Structure 1
C-alpha cells in the first residue's frame, strides 16, 4: 500500500490524467445475478413514516452474501433511513418518484443516511442511482440537522447519480468523502463517479459535496443552490494532524452555483494534495465562482514540523463564468475582495447564521498565488478563460491576496 501511494504521488507531477468518465468507474451492474424489490420482497411500507433502515440493511446483507451481489429496486413512495451501510457488489436503483427522509436518531449526534463501506467493510463495485430523472432526498424536515445523505470512505469503484437534495441549512454537505482506519491502515474512496446531482438551500459552510480524501474521482453536472457546490477542502483537524487523506486526481466538469458562496472551492490546509482540474464552472448571484486558498498550519502543527498544504502544480481550472448578484452568501472575511462601492449593499445575516446577504465579490479569488512559495503556503494553479457578467464596480476577474482592501477609508 505504501509503495503504491509513493508511486501514485510521483506520477502526479509528470502527467495529466484521463478526462473520460469511463477511466474513473467501471459499471458492474450487469454482473449482478439477483434483483429484489424493497417493497415487494422486504415488506417495506412506503406510505408511512416508520424507520425502514433495518429492512434495507437486510436486503443489502442478503445480496452481499453472494459474490455476485445484486440490485435493490426502491419504487415510488416515501422511505425513512439512517446509518445504512452499502456493501460490495450491491446496486440500488431509486425511482424518480421516491423520496428519502432521514430517520430521527433520537439525539443530536452526527449521523448519515447511507455510507459506502465503513471501518469494518470495504465496499467495492457499488452504486446508488435513479431509474429516470432524479429521486428526492428531503432533509429540510429533518429533526436533527446534523445529517448528510452519503458518506464515502472505505469504498472503491463507486457511482452516485441522479439525486436532488431539498436542504434547509443542515450542518453537513450532502455528500462527503473522507478517510477511515481499516485493518490497521488509513483508506479513502478510490475510483468513482458522482454526477447529475443537486442541492437546494444549502448552508454557507457546506453545500452539495465536500471531498477531504479521495483518489481518482470524476464529477459532472453538479448543481448547488447555497453553500459551495464542490468543496475540495481538506479541513478536518484530525486528518491534518495525522497527515492522512487528501485529494488526488480529481476531475470535475459542469459545476454550477446560485444564491450561494461558490461553485468550486480548492483549499489544501496542511495536506499535500495531488492533481485537480475543472472546466465549465458557473455561478449566478454567488460570492465567487471559484475560491482557491493557500495552505497553512496551526501553531501546534508548526511545532510538529508540518508544512502548509498544496495541490499539484499541474492543477488547472478553465472556462469560468460568474454573473453578479446582490444577495449572495458572503462571510465577513471576504468583504475585503468586494469593491468599496458595493459594500454599502451588505445586508444582515442569512438564515445559516454565518454569512451575510451581500453582493458578489468577484468571479475568482485566488490566495494561493504569492511570494514565498510552498514554505509560505503558496502553490500554483492555472486558471484560464474567466468571464465576469454585470459587475458594476469590480475591475478584476481574478482577485489575489495582494488585491484585498480591508478598510475602504484608508488613504482618505
Structure 2
C-alpha cells in the first residue's frame, strides 16, 4: 500500500469518527432537552397513541336537506301562538319532502318544537329564543326543541345562517330566565340520524339541566340512539355546577367541536338516566371532541359510566381557566336505580384526552364533595361561605388538573369501589401554579384528614 492510499484511508476513518461523534452529541443534546422538558413542573408529558378517532366532519354529517327555503312569520314578543305556528310549518314542509325554514330577527318564546325529517331551521343572528313559560309550569320540565323523542327522524339541522362561522356575532341567542319550573333544556336529541347543531350563544340562569341533551327516546330502546351528528360553535354562560352545556347519555359517531362554557361542566359523557343502565349495552361510542373549554366552573370534561361498559371517546385541545379541575374521570358504580343491570360500568381503554392547557386561580365552582382537598382552615371558610346562585357550590380556588378515581393508580379497587378502567391521558400544560394541589392528578388519597366537624350556618348567616 502506498503512502497516498494510507493517507486517504486515515482521512476517511477520521471523517467517520467525526460524524459519529457529532451525531452522538446531537442525540445527547436531544435527550437532554427532552429530559429538561420532562422535569418542567408545569408540564406533564403523559402518554401518546397513534390509534385515534378521526375528526373529519364528513364522517359525521352529510347535508341531504332539499334547497327549498321559506321564511316563517312569527308574532314575537312571547306570543304563545308562535310554537304552534312553527310546528305547523315544520310538519307541512317535511311532508312535502323537506327544506329550509328561516327564522328572522325577533324575540320568541318557544316550547316543544318538534323537528321532523329533512328540515333545517336557519336562524338569524338577531334572533333571541327563550322558553315559553306560559300556563302552569311550576315544577315542570321544559324542552324548547325536541328531536326524535316519539319517532325516528333523519337529516335535520338547527343552525345560524352562516352555519360554519366561528364568529359569535353571527350566532343566534337564547336565554333561560328565572322561573318556577323544574328545569329547561334548549334541545334534546333522541332517535335521530344525521343531524347538526351550530352557532348558539346561550345565557342560562343556573337552571337544573344541561342545555344540550342526548338521551334515549320515549321507547327507552338502547338501539334507538342519536347517530352521526355534529354539535359545534356553542357558547353558554351562567351554568349550574351540576349541569352544563352538553349531557351525553347516548350517542354514536358524534363530533362535538368548539364548545365553551362558563360554569358547570362543559361536556358530560355521563350515562345512567332514562333506562340507559337497564342492560349492559353501549349507548355511547365513537365520540370525538375537539376544542372544549371551561371558565369559572367545575370542569371542561366529565367521564362517568353508570353500570354500562361504554365505548370510545377521543378528546383533544382542552382549556380550563379558574375551574375546579380540567378533567374528571370517575369510576363506574351501582347508582340508585334498583332495577339497573348488575354491572359497574367502564369506558373503552382506547379513550383519549390530550393537549390540555390549564390556568388555575380564584373563580372555580367548588362542590361540597371536593372540600376534602382543602386545608382544615380553608375548609371551614368554604363551609361557612354563602353558596352561589345554583345553591350547590361556592366560589374558590382551582384544585388541580385531572380528578381521577377510575384508574388503579388513582386508588380504584374493583374489589371495593369497582368500575376501574384506564384511559389515555396526553400532554398537560399548566400556565401557572395557582392550584390547591401541586400534583397533576387529584386522587382520593389527596384528602386532608383529621379536620374538626363544622356545621353549615343557617341561611342568612353565611359569609359573603
- TM normalised by structure 2 equals 0.78
2:246 paired residue among 209, 212, 223: 209
Residues 148, 217 of structure 2: 8 Å contact kept: no
**1:35 aligned to 2:64?**
no
**1:24 aligned to 2:55?**
no
Match for residue 401 of structure 1? 444
Local SS of the residue matching 2:445 = helix
Deviation of the 1:46 alpha carbon: 2.7
Residues 276, 316 of structure 1: 8 Å contact kept: yes
Aligned residues: 388
1:384 paired residue among 417, 422, 426: 426
Match for residue 358 of structure 1? 396
Query: What is the alpha-carbon distance in structure 1 between the residues aligned to residue 221 and residue 283 of structure 2?
Result: 18
Local SS of the residue matching 2:277 = helix
Match for residue 3 of structure 1? none
Query: What is the alpha-carbon distance in structure 2 between the residues aligned to residue 118 and residue 140 of structure 1?
Result: 25
Match for residue 327 of structure 1? 363
Is the alpha carbon distance of 1:246 and 1:305 closer, same or farther for their aligned partners in structure 2, counting shifts above 3 Å?
closer
- Provide structure 1 residue ranges, at least 5 long, that are not aligned to the other structure: 1-13
Within 5 Å, give how 1:13-412 maps onto structure 2.
16-29=52-65, 32-39=66-73, 44-47=74-77, 49-67=79-97, 69-106=98-135, 107-108=137-138, 109-119=140-150, 121-132=151-162, 133-142=170-179, 144=181, 146-182=183-219, 186-236=223-273, 238-243=275-280, 246-298=283-335, 306-338=342-374, 343=379, 346=382, 347-370=385-408, 371-373=412-414, 376-388=418-430, 389-391=432-434, 393-407=436-450
Deviation of the 1:337 alpha carbon: 3.5
Query: What is the alpha-carbon distance in structure 1 between the residues aligned to residue 109 and residue 187 of structure 2?
Result: 14
Query: What is the alpha-carbon distance in structure 2 between the residues aligned to residue 242 and residue 110 of structure 1?
Result: 26
Is the alpha carbon distance of 1:47 and 1:376 closer, same or farther for their aligned partners in structure 2, counting shifts above 3 Å?
closer
Query: What is the alpha-carbon distance in structure 1 between the residues aligned to residue 110 and residue 436 of structure 2?
Result: 48
Deviation of the 1:287 alpha carbon: 0.7
Listed one character per residue, the Cα deviations across residues 173-221 of structure 1 (whole Å, up to 9, x for unaligned) are 1100001254977411000000000111011111111000111100110
Deviation of the 1:241 alpha carbon: 3.2
- TM normalised by structure 1 equals 0.87
Residues 196, 221 of structure 1: 8 Å contact kept: yes
Query: What is the alpha-carbon distance in structure 2 between the residues aligned to residue 350 and residue 245 of structure 1?
Result: 36
Local SS of the residue matching 1:312 = coil
Residues 313, 381 of structure 1: 8 Å contact kept: yes
Local SS of the residue matching 1:88 = coil
Residues 51, 79 of structure 1: 8 Å contact kept: no
Is the alpha carbon distance of 1:221 and 1:300 closer, same or farther for their aligned partners in structure 2, counting shifts above 3 Å?
closer
267-276 or 363-372, which moves further after superposition? 363-372
Residues 179, 245 of structure 1: 8 Å contact kept: no
Local SS of the residue matching 1:72 = strand
Query: What is the alpha-carbon distance in structure 1 between the residues aligned to residue 420 and residue 222 of structure 2?
Result: 30
Residues 157, 192 of structure 1: 8 Å contact kept: yes
Deviation of the 1:397 alpha carbon: 1.2
- Provide structure 2 residue ranges, at least 5 long, that are not aligned to the other structure: 1-49, 163-169, 454-464
Match for residue 4 of structure 1? none
244-253 or 94-103, which moves further after superposition? 244-253
Deviation of the 1:237 alpha carbon: 6.4
Query: What is the alpha-carbon distance in structure 1 between the residues aligned to residue 125 and residue 337 of structure 2?
Result: 49
